[in-house]
Structure 1
Amino acid sequence: MAKGQEQAAPDAVMTRIGQVVILHHAGDREEARHRFLQLWSEIGEDGDPLHRCTLAHYMADAQDDPADELAWDLRALTAAEELTDDRLAAHEGALAVRALYPSLHLNLAADYVKLGRSGAARTHLRRARGAAQALADDPYGDGVRAAIHRLELRLGEDGASGEGVWGPPRQRP
């Protein structure tokens, strides 16, 4: 019975994160940030890396300030990097975190573009491109690869400085 309870707890946390994501997608950014912060305090800075990665990845999207968005995206990447092979084996479904690497690096590249740091943006864009090779040929993988390509084109259009007006990559209908 204890094993079942241990497995239910991670699912419960992921479910709660998903519920807040739905709230955010419904347009209530402020309430989503508030609930994400509550969950973050429950999980803790040293909590389960899978939970921290997932939560920080979504919390970044709920930020209004690009510097805050960058800080949360960096937390997500740090947590993902803490998932060692032994740790991954202990988590059912944690291999999905590896599939987040292209998105994590893409988000960091976009954050750095917003902050006018084109060198850092290009570094993370290269990392996103390298990690994207592990993505499946499915709608998620196709979408991430397309977003990487759009940001690569945008940085190329802006010249060596990477400056200019930029918006987040958008998916075509």
Structure 2
Amino acid sequence: MAEQQEQAAPDAMMTRIGQVVMLHHGGDREEARGRFLDLWAEIGEDGDPLHRCTLAHYMADTQDDPCDELAWDLRALSAADELSDGRVAAHHRSLAVRAFYPSLHLNLAADYVKLGRGEAARSHLRRARGADGALGDDPYGDGVRAAIGRLELQLAGDGMSAEESRPFDGPGGETLGPPRQRP
């Protein structure tokens, strides 16, 4: 028992959310959306903020309508505002609530770009950049910082249109979403 574990005690709901995330990443967006909605109903509007934040953060990716995506990302941010470091540490010892904010604000900025709301996008992008010091020096942190940089470059050109609101294109031209917080 000399080695310290990164993960704290298992959390059944976080495990279930993670399973749906894998389903979504496997390509079954519609099924994932339905399962996320079932879990959301189980958690409830006043349920555990960590569960609500995580589920809403990933649920946003399953939305077809940018307004719905924005609504879920706003729910994630609202739930994060209710979180304590103690609650986050109970799930994952190496995380702090402040590490959630760069990704949450980045996703909101991307949502506002899709909706053609440049000033709101810039505001959340500034907040994402201002919070990026909380990210680790690891592939996840590097990915979030890179996505912030790409969106900053896009918005600096002011040539924002709905068609050009895909700041996260992969090397093969595939559209990639901003990195999401790990469940």
Please say whether Structure 1 and Structure 2 have the same fold, judged by a TM-score greater than 0.5. yes
Q: How far apart are the structure 2 equivalents of 1:166 and 1:103?
A: 17
Q: Equivalent residues in 2 for 1:56-71 (5 A)? A: 56-71=56-71
Q: Equivalent residues in 2 for 1:22-171 (5 A)? A: 22-85=22-85, 87-88=87-88, 91-93=90-92, 95-158=95-158, 162-163=160-161, 165-171=164-170
TM-score of the aligned structures, taking structure 1 as reference length:
0.86
The 8 Å contact of residues 112 and 118 in structure 1, kept in 2 or not, is answered as yes
> 5+ residue gaps in structure 1?
1-6
Question: Which runs of 4 or more aligned residues in structure 1 lie more than 6 Å from their structure 2 counterparts after TM superposition?
Answer: none
Q: How far apart are the structure 2 equivalents of 1:151 and 1:132?
A: 14
| Cα root mean square deviation, aligned | 1.9
Deviations along 1:136-171, one digit per CA (max 9) or x if unpaired, are 111111110000000000001225xx4462214235
The 8 Å contact of residues 50 and 97 in structure 1, kept in 2 or not, is answered as no
Letter in 2 for 1:77: L
Deviations along 1:4-42, one digit per CA (max 9) or x if unpaired, are xxx55xx11011001101111111111100000000000
> 5+ residue gaps in structure 2?
1-8, 173-183
Shift of 1:98: 2.8
Q: How far apart are the structure 1 equivalents of 2:18 and 2:108?
A: 22
| Matching residue of 1:16 | 16
Q: How far apart are the structure 1 equivalents of 2:125 and 2:47?
A: 28
The 8 Å contact of residues 147 and 170 in structure 1, kept in 2 or not, is answered as no
SS of equivalent to 1:133? helix
Higher helix proportion: 1
SS of equivalent to 2:152? helix
Letter in 1 for 2:134: A
TM-score of the aligned structures, taking structure 2 as reference length:
0.81
Q: How far apart are the structure 1 equivalents of 2:36 and 2:167?
A: 22
Letter in 2 for 1:126: R
Equivalent residues, number: 162
Q: How far apart are the structure 1 equivalents of 2:45 and 2:117?
A: 27
- Greater RCO between the two (CA within 8 Å, min separation 6)? 2
SS of equivalent to 2:168? coil
